[in-house]
Structure 1
Amino acid sequence: MFKKYPNNVLAAEDFNVKIKQGEFIYVIGPSGAGKSTFIKMMYREERPTSGEVTVNDYELQKMKNSEVPYLRRELGIVFQDFKLLSKLTVFENVAYALQVIEKEPDFIETRVNYVLDLVGLKHKAASFPNELSGGEQQRISIARAIANKPEIVIADEPTGNLDPDTASGIMEILERINSEGTTIVMATHNSQIVDEYTHRVLEIDGGKIVRDQPEGGFFQDED
Structure 2
Amino acid sequence: MFKKYPNDVLAANDFNVKIRQGEFVYVIGPSGAGKSTFIKMMYREERPTSGEIKVNDYELQKIKNSEIPFLRRELGIVFQDFKLLPKLTIFENIAYALQVIEKDSETVTARVNYVLDLVGLKDKVNAFPNELSGGEQQRISIARAIANKPEVVIADEPTGNLDPDTAAGIMEILERINGEGTTVVMATHNSQIVDQYKHRVLEIEGGKIVRDQTEGGFFQDED
The TM tier, using the shorter chain, reads over 0.9
Encode CA deviations 1:37-93: one digit per residue, 9 max, x unaligned. Answer: 000000000000000000001100000000011100000000000000000111110
Aligned to 1:127: 127
Aligned to 2:190: 190
What amino acid maps onto 1:211 in structure 2? Answer: R
Aligned to 1:114: 114
Deviation at 1:222, TM superposition (A): 1.1
Aligned to 1:87: 87
Task: List runs of 5+ in structure 1 lacking aligned partners.
Answer: none
SS of 1:153's partner is: strand
Encode CA deviations 1:166-204: one digit per residue, 9 max, x unaligned. Answer: 000000000000000000000000000000000000000
Aligned to 2:104: 104
Encode CA deviations 1:130-178: one digit per residue, 9 max, x unaligned. Answer: 0000000000000000000000000000000000000000000000000
Correspondences of 1:3-152 after superposition (within 5 Å): 3-152=3-152
SS of 1:61's partner is: coil
Encode CA deviations 1:89-117: one digit per residue, 9 max, x unaligned. Answer: 11110001011111110000000000000
SS of 1:115's partner is: helix
Greater than 4 Å deviation, 4+ residue runs = none
Hey, what's the Cα distance between the residues in 2 that align with 1:87 and 1:57?
A: 35
| Count of residue pairs the alignment pairs up | 223
TM-score (norm 1): 1.00
Question: Aligned-pair RMSD on alpha carbons?
Answer: 0.4
SS of 1:214's partner is: strand
Hey, what's the Cα distance between the residues in 2 that align with 1:12 and 1:148?
A: 30
TM-score (norm 2): 1.00
SS of 2:77's partner is: strand
- Give aligned-pair identity as a percent: 86
Task: List runs of 5+ in structure 2 lacking aligned partners.
Answer: none
Correspondences of 1:209-220 after superposition (within 5 Å): 209-220=209-220
What amino acid maps onto 2:204 in structure 1? Answer: I
Deviation at 1:19, TM superposition (A): 0.2
Hey, what's the Cα distance between the residues in 2 that align with 1:137 and 1:115?
A: 14
Aligned to 1:174: 174
SS of 2:86's partner is: coil
